[in-house]
Amino acid sequence: MLQIGKINSLKIVKFVEFGLYLDDGLGKEILLPRRELAKLPENTNVGEMLDVFIYFDSEDRIVATLERPKVMVGEFGILKVVAVEHIGAFLDWGLSKDLFLPFAEQNRDLRVGFDVIVYTYLDKSNRISATMRIEKNLNKISEEFKPDQAVDLLIFGKTELGYKAIINGTTLGLLFHDDVFKPLHYGDKIKGFIKNVRDDGKIDLSLAQSGHKGASGIGPQILDYLKQNKGFAAINDKTPAETIYDLFGVSKKKYKIALGGLYKSRLIKVSDEGIYLVEKADE
């Protein structure tokens, strides 16, 4: 079945002066406009299959394109506002016809140039549209994630408890304020970890692995950093958490665990000024 707003593999039926026609699998033909033909491999023939994106052109006709939009139906993405009208806004999604964001699907005032996080869907008329109502389109619970699993996060909201995030483009998760040790903003794409999958299926997130797992790989990083800076770094257990994260990508707690391990192994010396690489660390 033809899937509007997604990639379809369709057979070439015939070439015409204004492009070529593809079989939609239901006895109808879909146009790939002439401007697209230059993108085809040489010697493309009738009967071959083409992977095309299906959408509506400016005259509301179903057409095919070899271009790939920045986001497809059923996906979340960050798109730029290119026009704002009384019926809604229009977003740049990488195609010649902009993506429509209805006024009713906006949750804040928009201006041209704004970047917005949207979910792309088919409306009641089967037209491709966008919505800023992210949470209602996310999986609220999930059994596929496990504690300490590495995941990709997209920050889309903030509450009194913490930051709302899209996990791997599918599922809702929450980063509690106590687990955040660097500034986060709407639209940030970051790496994170599953902290806990609750009994009700809701997911708590973290920016670092739990316990000593998150600190195990930091020791060598600290040693390498010292070697690159002539054996000294003006950082210690009093250094701000944001600085630690910028340098090593972990929380201050994980950094202090790693620092303690290096000290006990007599690989570093610690002072009020910072940390020093001891001689045997270079051997």
CATH of the domain at 59: 2.40.50.140
Contact 120, 75 (CB under 8 A): yes
Query: Residue 141 falls within a domain, yes or no?
Result: no
Q: To the nearest 10°, report the CA torsion of 156, 157, 158, 161.
A: -90
Query: Residue 199 falls within a domain, yes or no?
Result: yes
**pLDDT range class, residue 278, cuts 50, 70, 90:** confident
pLDDT tens-digit map of 152-205: 999 999 999 999 999 999 999 999 988 887 789 999 999 999 999 988 888 999
CATH of the domain at 224: 1.10.10.10
- The pair phi, psi for residue 173, each rounded to 5°, is -145, 165
Q: How far is CA 61 from CA 27, 83, 107, 122, in A?
A: 17, 22, 30, 15
Domain boundary among 170, 187, 207: 207
pLDDT tens-digit map of 59-83: 888 999 999 999 999 999 999 999 9
Residues 107 and 124 grouped into a single domain: yes
Query: Residue 275 falls within a domain, yes or no?
Result: yes
Query: Residue 70 falls within a domain, yes or no?
Result: no
Query: Residue 1 falls within a domain, yes or no?
Result: no
Query: Residue 155 falls within a domain, yes or no?
Result: yes
pLDDT tens-digit map of 5-60: 999 999 999 999 999 999 988 888 999 999 999 889 888 999 999 999 999 988 88
d(CA 112, CA 92): 11
**What is the token pair recorded at 237?**
């257990």
Least confident of 121-125, 130-134, 265-269: 265-269
Residues 238 and 218 grouped into a single domain: yes
Contact 51, 9 (CB under 8 A): yes
d(CA 108, CA 110): 6
Question: How much is the pLDDT for 265?
Answer: 84
d(CA 135, CA 171): 9
Q: How high does pLDDT run on average in the chain?
A: 89
Environment class of 20 (CB within 10 Å of its CB; exposed 0-12, middle 13-18, buried 19+): buried
Q: Where are the alpha helices (DSSP H) in 37-127?
A: none
Domain boundary among 184, 207, 230: 207
Query: Residue 2 falls within a domain, yes or no?
Result: no
Contact 153, 76 (CB under 8 A): no
Domain boundary among 135, 169, 185: 135
CA-based end-to-end distance of the chain: 65
Token pair 């997130």 in the structure block, residue: 205
Q: Report the domain count for the chain.
A: 4
Residues 176 and 222 grouped into a single domain: no
Which residues are CB-neighbours of 267 under 8 A, at least 6 positions away?
Answer: 219, 223, 277, 278, 280, 281
Domain of 14, in residue numbers: 7-65
Contact 11, 21 (CB under 8 A): no
